[in-house]
Amino acid sequence: MPQIEPGPAAVAGNVIGTGSVKVALIVPLSGQGAAVGTALRNAAELAYEDFQKPNLQILVKDDRGTPEGARESAQAAFAEGAEMVLGPLFAGSVQAAGSAARAAGKPVIAFSTDAAVAARGVYLISFLPQSEVDRIVDEATAGGRRSFAALIPETTYGNAVEAQFREAVARRGARLVGLERYPAGNPGTAVERLRRVIAGGGAQADALFVPDTAEGLMAVAPALTKVGFSPTRVRPLGLALWNDPRVAAQPAFQGARFAAPDTAGFMGFAQRYQSRFGAAPPRTASLGYDAVSLTVALVRQYGSKRFAHETLTNPAGFSGVDGTFRFSPEGVSERTLAVYEIRDNAASVVSPAPKMLGPSGI
């Protein structure tokens, strides 16, 4: 996996660096998502500063948080000699930039969490819930959990993970004994329908999967308590969105486990970011850092094949702030993830993130 060393930087206006290899960073610096876009740009600058004079020039473009802005930015960047796009952030913008990139025969490494916009040539470096689903189901079954129930919010996020959850349970030879969906923020009726499966001495499930946001889980927890749910009998399972103090404080989630990136690397990044820019970075900012880190490593090691499909989909993957990751030929990312357990109103790692990814598709 590529390794890089720290060094000085060259930053000027909307261009970062002075190298001969040009890539574009397309993010919202105005309009919707401007705060996150600015943080991604800052993280890219920090990454450049951390590497010894990389032969790289990053053309920073504002897509204004719109597909039209993303398409215009990508076309302008390619006209200026960019060989690859880092970004955009939003799914619609990724599709628009991806169309321009395909026309130019150039790849995109994007920050969207919508796996539907991934494709050959459009690679998502973001935190995708599908990897988290696989990790938590694998860990639960390895620990002897064989009968799963699920409460799925009727949201885009819920839709994205339900199919992956069903597939992961089946792949591990476990059973899905009950699944109910609920309107966002209103889980009471669905929990009641699932009561027979998850509550009381005759509970059929030994694990309950709830892929909701921290805000959504604030409604799920009391609904579970109301029907007599016991987390010591039926283990709650979640994804990275569970990594929130509000979730850890809920009695219904004591003993719960969830999959998420190991926070150690991000904490070090966040300290450097705070020191450099005077503010704490949003969680997604590390993606901007890793996108530039990856670009630097590819430029140094792969010559004219640096951004080829075969290079970007190397099954060994790449080392980043948030652990090891790789891109599938279809453009989605797989990541090494830790499993956390909630005990005494706090979450701690019970299964560290592996150093390396296993065989693809397993």
- Residue 224: strand, helix, or coil: helix
Give me the pLDDT at residue 7, please: 40
Give me the pLDDT at residue 13, please: 53
Give me the pLDDT at residue 8, please: 40
Give me the pLDDT at residue 11, please: 45
The CA dihedral of 242, 244, 250, 255, to the nearest 10 degrees, is 50
User: H or E element: which one contains 269?
Assistant: helix 263-277
Nearest to 31 by CA among 99, 93, 84: 93
Looking at domain 130-260+337-351, its CATH architecture is 3-Layer(aba) Sandwich (3.40)
> What are the residue ranges in the chain where pLDDT is below 50?
3-12, 361-362
What DSSP designation does 304 have? Answer: G
Give the whole-angstrom CA distance, residue 263 versus residue 161.
22
What DSSP designation does 358 have? Answer: -
User: Comparing 11-127+264-331 with 130-260+337-351, is the CATH topology the same?
Assistant: yes
Give me the pLDDT at residue 9, please: 43
Give residue-wise pLDDT tens across range 246-276. Answer: 999 999 999 999 999 998 899 999 999 999 9
Looking at domain 11-127+264-331, its CATH architecture is 3-Layer(aba) Sandwich (3.40)
Give the whole-angstrom CA distance, residue 182 versus residue 193.
11
The residue ranges of every structural domain in the chain are 11-127+264-331, 130-260+337-351
